[in-house]
Chain A
Amino acid sequence: MKRTAALAAALAMTFTIVSAQDLGVLAPANLAKARSKPAIDITGTWFIDLGFPGSWRFGPPYPKLTAEAQKHFDASRKAQAEGKVYRDDIGQCWPAGVPMIMTRVWSISMVQLPTVVYMISGFMNSLRVINMDGRPHTDPDLVVRTFNGDSIGRFDGDALVIDTTGFIDHHHWIDNGIPATDALHIVERVRLVDGGKKMQIEYTMTDPKSWEGEWKMTKQWNRVDSRDMEIAEVECLPDLNSHIPSTQSKENVR
């Protein structure tokens, strides 16, 4: 028995060392690996198309909500009808998170490499990392849950397909009064249209703790190439809201 345990420990240690030696997405040897030609290249700066149906909002229409989510939704609508703000977490400097960060009315810069896609929103410089080197999602027992989630990507036909899990379950909303939970799973099919001048993303979202079935919609972005549409450093500093009176309103519903 002792010999078996020792062997198992040695194997476990070997596995750990091998894992630690997995190449990072920016390792030259990883970047240099032979891969199929990417179907599309989304490198560029993009801005949400406010003229596209649905514009920057993820609803309406909304899916059938669970009882818990419906409570938030009803409270949000009641606050709205009274001219109040319901849980304005973004206004209190909580990250917007995926999917809302994608449709903030700010530019998003995207950099596509063979092994990874980086998306940096001009809004609070929120970073998305989409690993493209063939790795699976981070082990659920190890993942650090975040507002933008754990994303892996692959090409499928003329689309880049991004699969995201590992979301955080507090102060994170899909739309006003619709909470995102740790069960949220988002698949984005990214395509370039109009000769690459526009980018469309078809969203399929499931979150059985907040709604039933699949919640689908498509959003569109315009490529913006001018210098004045570049992203800049944007921080939600501790003293920001002391100068922004509407975030401090006594009537906001916390």
Chain B
Amino acid sequence: MNGAKGFKGFWGFRVPEVQRVFMRLRLAWMVVALAAVAAPVFAHHSAAGIDRSKSVTLVGTVKQFGWQNPHSWMEIDVPNEAGAVTTWKVEMTSPAFLIRAGWKATTIKPGDKVTVKVFPLRDGDPGGLFQSVTLADGSTLTERAAAPRPAQP
């Protein structure tokens, strides 16, 4: 690498700079691929109890949000038409993956009004696997990192 110091490669970049860009791109694509493929096995448990053929939309208030390893999680208080409140437990992936998807520990907090989509439990209990959250400002977050943009020459 040192031997290339001062050498101008294509697009005016020094060779090591170009190599770094390609390395970062490769890593970024790997992260995207992992987020897409690995989510079920990134868990500390089997996801067989989750029904991935269904999606449930929860409109409610954040009761708790746990930003922790190996899983983050949230609890959402969801009122029904009669006014009774059911607390849904929602399991999520690890903070490392959430950070790549744009999350922070402060993204949601107790009291926030949210709309959360989950794959529900097969056994009918109020719980499921996180798909997405729409915040009060209208922004939506998932667990998947956005695809990296191609490097600009």
CB-CB contacts below 8 Å: A20-67 with B? 47, 50-51, 56
A83-B51, A233-B69, A234-B69 known; A123 vs B27 contact (CB < 8 Å): no
Task: Indicate if A169 sits at the interface (CB-CB under 8 A).
Answer: no
| Stretch touching chain A among B11-19, B30-38, B107-115 | B30-38
What are the residues of chain A within 8 A of B49 when measuring CB–CB? 83-85, 246, 249, 251-252
Known: A245-B128, A250-B125. A123 touches B30 (CB 8 A): no
Q: Is the CB of A244 within 8 A of B45?
A: yes
B127 contacts across to A, CB distance below 8 A: 245-246, 248
Contact of A83 among B31, B66, B89, B122 (CB under 8 A): B122
Name B94-151 residues within 8 Å CB distance of A. Answer: 94, 96, 99-100, 121-123, 125-129
Residues of B close to A249: CB separation below 8 A = 49, 121-123, 125
Contact with B along A100-115 (1 / 0, CB 8 A): 0000111000000000
In the complex, the answer to whether B42 meets A90 with C-beta atoms within 8 Å is no
A90 and B70 contact, CB distance less than 8 A: no
What are the residues of chain B within 8 A of A240 when measuring CB–CB? 44, 70-71
Please measure, in the bound complex, the distance between the C-alpha atom of A91 and the C-alpha atom of B50, giving whole angstroms.
14
A175: shortest Cβ distance to chain B, in Å?
12
Complex alpha-carbon distance, A144 and B44, angstroms: 25
A155–B123 Cα gap in the complex (Å)? 51
B41 contacts the other chain (CB 8 A):
yes
Cβ contacts under 8 Å, A91 to chain B: 43-46
Bound-state CA distance A92–B27 (Å) is: 32
Interface 0/1 of B20-36, CB less than 8 Å to A: 00000001001101100
Residue in chain B with minimal CB distance to A250: B123
Within 8 A of A (CB), among B51-101: 51, 66, 69-71, 73, 75, 89-91, 94, 96, 99-100
Given A105-B42, A124-B44, A251-B49, the answer on whether A245 and B70 have CB atoms closer than 8 Å is no
CB under 8 Å from chain B, chain A span 200-228: 222, 224, 226, 228
Q: How far is the CB of B140 from chain A (nearest CB, A)?
A: 23
Give CA–CA (A233, B95) in the complex, Å.
Answer: 12
Q: Is A88 an interface residue, CB under 8 A from the partner?
A: yes
Interface flags, A158-199, vs B, CB<8A=1, else 0: 000000000000000000100000000000000000000000
Smallest beta-carbon distance B34→chain A, Å: 7
* Contact status A251-B122, CB under 8 Å: yes
Known: A83-B49, A176-B46. 4 other contacts (CB 8 A): A88-B46, A91-B44, A106-B42, A245-B128
Instruction: List 12 A-B residue pairs with CB atoms under 8 Å apart, sorted by A's residue number.
Output: A50-B37, A79-B48, A85-B46, A105-B41, A176-B46, A234-B69, A235-B69, A245-B126, A246-B46, A246-B127, A249-B125, A252-B49
